[in-house]
Amino acid sequence: QVQLVESGGGLVKPGGSLRLSCAASGFTFSDYYMSWIRQAPGKGLEWVSYISSSGSTIYYADSVKGRFTISRDNAKNSLYLQMNSLRAEDTAVYYCARPRLDMFSGSPNDAFDIWGQGTMVTVSS
């Protein structure tokens, strides 16, 4: 079945780095734009970053620009988020998410119909 599975979360000190991974299965990963979305404990959802199907177009939220890097490996059906210079306010559950439509069917911007289970990132000394 269609599935996204995140990994790589954990406890890291302020200023540290972490790399998150998202393994996709059950669909043609290379046909979809992908996003990372996060949720701080007890808070709402915040979109973090977006990457086009080929990786040629990338956008970031202002809160992570210059510190986080999104990438993908279509041969491995995997999405990544490299997080550097981490701050306490980056503490959150990080979800990867797939839009409802593939790159051939609609706009790159769309609602997300497939979400991973999330991976927790805690930034604390």
Partner 1 sequence: AIQLTQSPSSLSASVGDRVTITCRASQGISSALAWYQQKPGKAPKLLIYDASSLESGVPSRFSGSGSGTDFTLTISSLQPEDFATYYCQQFNSYQLTFGGGTKVEIK
Output the smallest distance, CB 44 to partner 1, in A. 5
Residues whose CB falls within 8 Å of the CB of residue 69, separated by 6 or more in sequence, listed in order: 81, 82, 84
Q: How far apart are CA 71 and CA 26, in angstroms?
A: 20
1 part of the interface to partner 1, by CB under 8 A: no
Q: Position 104: which residue type?
A: F
Phi, psi for residue 95 in degrees, rounded to 5: -110, 140
Q: Which is nearer to partner 1, 44 or 125 (by Cβ)?
A: 44
In the shown chain, the binding pattern of residues 40 to 59 toward partner 1, with x for contact by CB under 8 A and - for none, equals ----xxxx--x--------x
Q: Tell me 123's DSSP state.
A: E
27 part of the interface to partner 1, by CB under 8 A: no
Residue 52, token pair as written in the block: 């086009």
In the shown chain, the binding pattern of residues 61 to 100 toward partner 1, with x for contact by CB under 8 A and - for none, equals xx--------------------------------x----x
109 part of the interface to partner 1, by CB under 8 A: yes
Tell me what percent of the chain is helix, strand and coil, each rounded to the nearest 5: 5, 50, 45
User: Under the rule (CB under 8 A), what is the footprint of partner 1?
Assistant: 35, 44-47, 50, 59, 61-62, 95, 100, 107-113, 115-118
